[in-house]
């Protein structure tokens, strides 16, 4: 299987357990890796036989900017579910970064990584 990757998609969301996170919002960064058989698209130079990564990027940002959830695990699952709606996508790995998580000690990043496949 081939892989199409989008790295560093940024959007402001209002996800989190704490009221401050819900009210003020924060930046989330998302990486998605889509497992796709690109041979049919390459053979005919045909976008309709692969996944349009521009559309996927817009969908991911819309989810992050959309309905708030408490957990980044839930956010990652929603993103994975949307990616798998694209017929060409067989499997997806989603990494959600929460670099401004409300942690009281110094840190670089908080992430959740999930991998989902078509059932």
Residue in 17, 23, 4, 6 with CA at minimum distance from that of residue 98: 17
In this predicted structure, what is the pLDDT of residue 108? 97
Q: Is the pLDDT reported for residue 37 higher than 80?
A: yes
Total length of the chain: 119
In this predicted structure, what is the pLDDT of residue 119? 75
Q: Which residues are catalytic?
A: 98
CA 1 to chain centre: 19
CA 91 to chain centre: 13
Q: What is the pLDDT of residues 69-117, one digit of tens each?
A: 999 999 999 999 999 999 999 999 999 999 999 999 999 999 999 999 9
Summarize the confidence of residues 13-24 as an average pLDDT: 96
**pTM to 2 decimal places:** 0.96
What separation in angstroms does the CA of 90 have from each of 23, 38, 80, 107? 36, 11, 11, 34
Give CA–CA dist 41/49, Å, rounded. 5
2-117 CATH, one of 3.30.1130.10, 3.40.1390.10, 3.20.20.80, 1.20.1250.20: 3.30.1130.10
87 is written with which tokens? 């017929």
């Amino acid at each position: 299987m081939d892989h199409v990757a989008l790295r560093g998609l940024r959007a402001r969301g209002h996800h989190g357990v704490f009221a401050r996170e819900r009210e003020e919002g924060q930046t989330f960064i998302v990486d998605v890796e889509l497992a796709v058989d690109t041979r049919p698209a390459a053979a005919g130079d045909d976008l309709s036989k692969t996944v349009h990564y521009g559309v996927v990027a817009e969908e991911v940002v819309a989810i992050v900017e959309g309905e708030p959830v408490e957990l980044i695990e839930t956010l990652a699952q929603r993103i994975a579910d949307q990616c798998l709606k694209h017929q060409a996508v067989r499997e997806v790995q989603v990494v959600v970064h929460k670099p401004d998580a409300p942690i009281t000690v110094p840190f670089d990043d908080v992430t959740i990584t999930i991998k989902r496949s078509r059932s």
